[in-house]
Amino acid sequence: MTNLIQNSGNNNNPFISVVVPVYNEQEVLPEFLDRTSRVLEAREIDYEIIFVNDGSTDNSLELLNRFREKDPRIAILDLSRNFGKEIALTAGLDYSRGDAVIIIDADLQDPPELIPEFISAWQEGFDVVYGKRKKRQGETVLKRLTAYLFYRILQRASNVHIPEDTGDFRLMSRRAVDALCKLREQHRFMKGLFAWIGFPQRCILYKREPRYAGRSKWNYWHLWNHAIEGITSFSIAPLKIATYIGLITAFFSFSYGSYIIIRTIIRGCDVPGYPSLIVIMLFLGGVELTALGIIGEYLGRVFDETKRRPLYLIDQYLPSRTANGQ
């Protein structure tokens, strides 16, 4: 019951902010706005939709401006360039004013029809209500497999419980948003940050649809970097693992070395000492480079954080013009 009071979900006439990161989404924006507004209006919810334009190079911004002229509940936060989804989300959360904030992708992979369910759970007292994918559709077996492995590894490597098959689609209470906004790290692994803040959380299962239109900005290189981000942000296990990899490599190298030495004794060799030398050199080089690379990943992140740059810059902010959000 105390949660009910603390997370402000008991407010009879709550004001909801919907934060939508937008990067070149002109094909989906009209349909997105249509579906989302329909869901929220049907429930007579007071809301604003904050579109965060993350440096789109297509007509997304013009489209958003046109939407805003017609609908006073629309706010536009125009970033000075493309900063990436994580930062766009953070900017949207910083500018949100709602008693609860919903984060949703513009591409309709997260069904807006789930929002009323999120709100009900929030009103029951949950601070964070997140959507969990029931089934992945329109994605290749390889993507499904890599996602599966990533979550499993992350779970093992970090102390924070990061729910699997969960994206950014979620509702957060005001206090959860305020807590999240205090985390100003440059390398923003959002799934981890969402989990780190804690508070009562509930998951709601949903079927993730394929993208409505347009193209995903993700590719395997991005996914790989995302995975490294997740692990280095939430765990120092790789630094420890480096030690063990060193030991294991040493073992195999020793076995291979023994084999070469024995073979050389039996069969002879053109240049005496050469095989054993090359084995030792390769072994040491490999282990050292791996360990250095891992240290480098962490050092690079320390470097980025020490610069203390602002997370994003705003070109312009056009707030919503709703009475409730003032």
Contacting residues toward ligand UDP, per CB under 6 A: 21-23, 25, 54, 82, 84-85, 88, 105-107, 109, 211, 216-218
Identify what 279 binds: Mg ion, ligand UDP, none; CB under 5 to 8 Å per kind. Answer: none
Q: Site residues for Mg ion, window 88-107 (CB under 5 A)?
A: 107
Q: What is the closest distance, in whole angstroms, from the C-beta atom of residue 222 to Mg ion in the complex? A: 12
* Residue 23 touches which member of ligand UDP, Mg ion, none, C-beta under 5-8 Å by kind: ligand UDP
CB-CB contact of 252 with 258 (8 Å): no
Task: Write down the least CB distance from residue 191 to ligand UDP, Å.
Answer: 12
Nearer to ligand UDP, 193 or 294 (CB): 193
Q: Smallest gap, in angstroms, from Cβ of residue 24 to ligand UDP?
A: 7
DSSP-derived pairing of the beta strands 166-173 and 128-136: antiparallel
Which residue, 243, 325, 221, 320, is CA-closest to 287? 243
User: Taking CB within 5 to 8 Å according to partner kind, which of ligand UDP, Mg ion, none is near residue 22?
Assistant: ligand UDP
For ligand UDP, give the closer residue by CB, 126 or 194: 194
Choose between 85 and 133: whose C-beta lies nearer to ligand UDP: 85
Considering the complex, state which of residue 72 and residue 167 has its C-beta at the smaller distance from ligand UDP.
167
CA distance 24 to 217: 9
- β-pairing, 314-318 vs 74-79, is antiparallel
As measured in angstroms, the least distance from the Cβ of 33 to ligand UDP is 13
**Of 109, 158, 173, 235, the one binding Mg ion by CB under 5 A:** 109
Nearer to Mg ion, 54 or 107 (CB): 107
- List residues near Mg ion by CB under 5 A: 107, 109
